[in-house]
A and B are shown apart, each in its own frame.
Chain A
């Protein structure tokens, strides 16, 4: 339809606004408006879920405490470790499954099973699998000559298990994104490099990998969002332990609010987490492949 004059254009716009109105109302009332409550709470002491005295920025000052810093460091280790493992393994799997591979769909389906399994079921079952007394994985490793280990009793091992479980759950996502990136690389490009004597490794590092970088970036950024906002897996797998070694910042926020009922402080953490998410969103939009999203 060709808008003739201002009136027609106005009507066209009006129709578009009508189409988006319900969605805009939903997002504004469920996502944006509630932030006001958290902001208000963050400036007050709290008596369970009722705001108490106005305390100014006290709750925010408490964000500088050592224990919150530890939570932030745990989050950082968790996110970075998960990304390295999940995106790295996703890249490896995509390369393994690229081209003509017998049973390709079957392999892909199996790799997707953890992705469609709920985080609570995954977390609880992995917790059992590594139980030092009756867990089959620890037992199996012992049969192979490894010492009996209490994974959840050791800070470093617990963090590694948390990262492993999270990567195990989400590797399918990176795999599929990178696989679809791989399919956009014409076979003729890599083949001619091989014919020119570049060798398989050099063809990968100098042609395939650079062409895959946009897909890998998408995986890294999208995964950062999703890993940053996880509570369930650490809650049920490690419970944040031992000695808070795996208590990432979102888990701390959850506990401050719903276990200790420090809602004012928890709200301050929420505002911090929201700010981080908004910052990441801007970063995401700066990525080369994402210009299209804002048009």
Chain B
């Protein structure tokens, strides 16, 4: 592809694709800055004539901060559960052989492949039987079961790359198996933990349908469900809705930009090796 027409065609294609990829975000940003009178103007304008932050102010005065807080709690809870359980599982899988290993792996695979949605009604029925609908707990449990396998693949792949004489040396020196795990293996696996964490964060923060189903009270709603109610309760209030979208997107995009490499490595280790 060294000929210049070839190179020009390549860049032209990439630029066009990038414009399509950014179109909705661009429109969202632009709308969030338009005063109400401009939003549904015809013909549609890509740039606000008189930009204003009114919609952002309105969103901050609405329930959005509460939804934001709920999302933070649920995301943090899921991160804690999946990382703690995932580290133990990945260590067991890469360092020990045990009889039920294949059964357990199949179970994990199933949990990953039935991403909450297929299991939506069963989980709803379980939660209503246990009377834990509309609680952070049920949402954290469902998300954790769904994302745990992904965390395990990411961490296990990394653990395989740590030579096991390192933890064996700790054992020979008379330290316990727990010490070998917590003090030798875990500290070494920080990059993999970061990759797993950013992956979990993005999925949990963005999840909508499970949260919509399991959370019914306004006080417990996470961000994405909050976005949905913006539309139905207030009619189509596009200015505030787009401002809320921008605010809800900000943490994900910032973290993604900061930890892009971790995120991409998490994606490929989850996908290529299973």
**Is the pair B118, A277 in contact by a Cβ cutoff of 8 Å?**
yes
Contacts of A229 in B (CB 8 A): 114-118
Within 8 A of A (CB), among B201-258: 202, 205-209, 213, 224, 227-228, 231, 238, 241-242, 245, 248-249, 252-253, 256-257
Prevailing SS type, chain A contact patch: helix
Interface check B122, CB cutoff 8 A: yes
Pick the contact of B89 from A20, A35, A41, A109 — CB < 8 Å? Answer: A20
B18 and chain A: residue at smallest CB distance: A110
Please measure, in the bound complex, the distance between the C-alpha atom of A34 and the C-alpha atom of B13, giving whole angstroms.
48
Interface check A116, CB cutoff 8 A: yes
Contacts of B88 in A (CB 8 A): 19-20, 22-23
**Is the pair A113, B21 in contact by a Cβ cutoff of 8 Å?**
yes
Interface check B44, CB cutoff 8 A: yes
Interface check A146, CB cutoff 8 A: no
Interface check B14, CB cutoff 8 A: yes
**Is the pair B122, A27 in contact by a Cβ cutoff of 8 Å?**
no
Within the complex, the shortest CB–CB distance from A169 to chain B, in Å, comes to 10
A219 and chain B: residue at smallest CB distance: B271
**Is the pair B46, A136 in contact by a Cβ cutoff of 8 Å?**
yes
Contacts of A23 in B (CB 8 A): 85-86, 88-89, 108, 148, 152
Most buried by B among A1, A23, A270, A292: A23
Please measure, in the bound complex, the distance between the C-alpha atom of A278 and the C-alpha atom of B89, giving whole angstroms.
22
Pick the contact of A119 from B18, B95, B118, B208 — CB < 8 Å? Answer: B208
Pick the contact of B248 from A118, A274, A281, A284 — CB < 8 Å? Answer: A118
Contacts of A281 in B (CB 8 A): 106, 109-110, 113
A270 and B260 in contact (CB under 8 A), knowing A26-B145, A93-B17? no
Please measure, in the bound complex, the distance between the C-alpha atom of A136 and the C-alpha atom of B209, giving whole angstroms.
28
Contacts of B126 in A (CB 8 A): 30, 33-34, 37
**Is the pair A293, B274 in contact by a Cβ cutoff of 8 Å?**
yes
Interface size of B in residues (CB-CB distance below 8 Å):
98
Interface check A185, CB cutoff 8 A: no
Interface check B193, CB cutoff 8 A: no
**Is the pair A111, B17 in contact by a Cβ cutoff of 8 Å?**
yes
A293 and B241 in contact (CB under 8 A), knowing A49-B125, A113-B25, A119-B206? no
**Is the pair A19, B245 in contact by a Cβ cutoff of 8 Å?**
no
Interface check A156, CB cutoff 8 A: no
Within 8 A of A (CB), among B59-111: 81, 85-86, 88-89, 91-93, 95-100, 102, 104-111
Within the complex, the shortest CB–CB distance from B255 to chain A, in Å, comes to 9
| Segment at the interface with B among A64-72, A80-88, A126-134 | A126-134
**Is the pair A293, B109 in contact by a Cβ cutoff of 8 Å?**
yes
**Is the pair A24, B18 in contact by a Cβ cutoff of 8 Å?**
no
Please measure, in the bound complex, the distance between the C-alpha atom of A27 and the C-alpha atom of B20, giving whole angstroms.
39
Interface check B43, CB cutoff 8 A: yes
Contacts of A99 in B (CB 8 A): 1
| Segment at the interface with B among A8-16, A53-61, A238-246 | A8-16
**Is the pair A121, B89 in contact by a Cβ cutoff of 8 Å?**
no
Within the complex, the shortest CB–CB distance from A89 to chain B, in Å, comes to 8
**Is the pair B122, A35 in contact by a Cβ cutoff of 8 Å?**
yes
Contacts of B27 in A (CB 8 A): 125, 128-129, 136
Contact residues of B with A, CB < 8 Å?
1, 10, 13-14, 17-18, 20-25, 27-28, 40-44, 46, 81, 85-86, 88-89, 91-93, 95-100, 102, 104-111, 113-126, 128-129, 141-142, 144-145, 148, 152-153, 168, 171, 177, 202, 205-209, 213, 224, 227-228, 231, 238, 241-242, 245, 248-249, 252-253, 256-257, 260, 264, 267-268, 271-274
